[in-house]
Chains A and B, each alone.
Chain A
Amino acid sequence: MTYQVNQLVDVVTACMQASSHKLVPKIMYWHQRTYSFTRLGFYHPTSRGQRMIHVFDMADETHTFRLEFDAESLLWQLKYISDGEP
């Protein structure tokens, strides 16, 4: 099941210049809870007009998360959370 969230969240990231993914979310704080991501599923950039949005499909042991980073506002938004099933 997928739950639409669309809320701004706090995210701790890792920046790795030698990796093919330069910036990867590691920890997310949302509703007084801490979520530690165990893997990056897929990254893709997209654009809304000339605004660059970096989209990360992340996963922990039980859930998947869609996070978007707005390169203009420098804000993270949690788009949805899912138990892995559609």
Chain B
Amino acid sequence: MGPECQQTRDLLDAYLGDELLVETAHQLHRHLNYCAACRDELDRRRRTALLFRELGTERAPATLRARIIEALEQASVSTSREASGTRRAWWPQRWVKHLRAMLEDVIGSVHIRRAVLALLVGVLVLWIVWAPREHTISAAELLTRAEAVDAALYRDAAVTRTFDVEEWDVAGRLIGRHRVEVARQGALVARRLRDRSGRVTGGAWSTGDGHSQIYRLGASGPLPPVTREDRPSLRSLVEVPWHIDASPSAFVALVRLDLTRVTESTGSYLVEYRAPWLTSAVAAHPVVERATLTLDRPSLRVIRQTVTVREGDVVRELRYLERAFSRVGPDDLPQATFEPDAGLMPAPRAALEATRPRVPVRAVADEGEGLGREVEVLRRLDAVGALFGEQISVERSPDGRVTVDGVVDDAARKAQLQSALSSLAADGRVRIRIETGAERVQQRSDPSPNETTFRQVEVETNRFAAADLVQRHLQTEKDMVAWPEIQRFADGLLTGSRQALVRSWALERLTTRFPPERLRSLNPDAHATWLTLVVGHARAIQYEASILRLTVGPLVAAPHGAGDASAWEEAESQTPEEFAGALVGAASATDEAIREAFAASAIPVTPADLQIAREEFWTNLRRLEVLAARVAGR
């Protein structure tokens, strides 16, 4: 390439972007007129640029859009409150302005004026804080009376109350709002968390022993019991704020009574607690900095409760506002009220997670340890791509020892596998026996009669069935496409579909080796490693399937969205093993169709008869993508 060509190529991108000066563009045209190579280069860059623009066609998921709009609406509610707060601050501002104007008339010096102003404001603040107020009742007495009133509400009756629980951050922004319905009948307590549309998204149901079990939509079944109903802990307040009632007893459990004070107003009592100075700044665990309880004056019923919690640098204010209250006969609430809603039960991906061990059980520690070792071996094999295709077996003996036995192609691969596993072999609990094919043959005196022999199949042509389709797709109006380019296109597809297949094998191996009951014996780390492997393969399958769909689609005018709903429904009802089996099935069928179309073959198939031209292939590919997405948790 001559210097002029080099110079031209440096300018081609700018030329395509219409950024060159007229003169420079003229020079470039002159060169392009006689240089075919640069003309070709320009053309290719133009095509790449077009392809780049095509990458920018994906749309954000509708769920994300909805989520953002909802969050914005919530934020807008909180900011409009702030805005109204600003209007309220108008009068004091005007007063300060008047005061400043008066001082300006009296005192000439700016500094003295400021000092006097600061002093006045300070005195005002002190007066507000320390001004004596009349207390006709002490906080302790008031709260005891309120507790008695509260207890009486539940005596010989069933009660349902609805609260809004809001979480606010230190800057006064609303960060979360829950609507909680609490039904209480004797020792039975049911809490339902509802979203804006009234759908139940979680809840807590009492277990009869004073504890309750928490469920969340989309989670893998019940979370561990967190808290006692009657005495909420601070930890549960931070983690599950909606699990706490606005009640005198909850308030008493969270504060020190000797640091509370009562303020009376016409309709209500306000009980207020403030943590001692510095307590919250130095504490390592969550601390209640401030809490208030507002009681209706004649009835002593709670109408509002706020709790400000500091955990490290994070300060959150929780506001509990009662929205509805009803009291019925002791047995008037249906029994189903006190049972978790069916919708909160786990789904397939959740079923995988559900196997996550909760409480480490000493009795199965040995079993868990051996399993954990096995997961680690699988992880390392996976990292060097040895979990699929090669003849490598992993066995675990009852005493927890793991044996890796395998035959590989050559010495280099053997060394690679050995080095991947070497640090595990050090403690003697993992035994590694990896040999090359040649070594294994040498060891045997007589070759096994069942040994498989491979016969090279000579393919005379390197044409593949869909070559014409690819050629038509790639060529532009004026250019024919060279064969190597067509070949490269096909190779890319073959590699992609093979990748999806081998990864589905790996996924199958991982899920069948660890059925849910064995997963439960894993320690949390090993479980996480296992889940990462599974999700990693699922994502890769999903990626390859989507690339196949986008690349093969334009060749045959693929039907859109076929099979969507059925695949999702199918996914809902399967166990992890069935899931993996279905994935392998879909991946094999896809790979077969891709090979039929894009691998060189002596058997002629007309393009119209190809599997990729049939709806079945597209349904299957979409199914593969959907199943993988489901495992990947997308």
- Chain B binds chain A: no
Measuring CB to CB, which residues of chain A are less than 8 angstroms from any residue of chain B? none
Measuring CB to CB, which residues of chain B are less than 8 angstroms from any residue of chain A? none
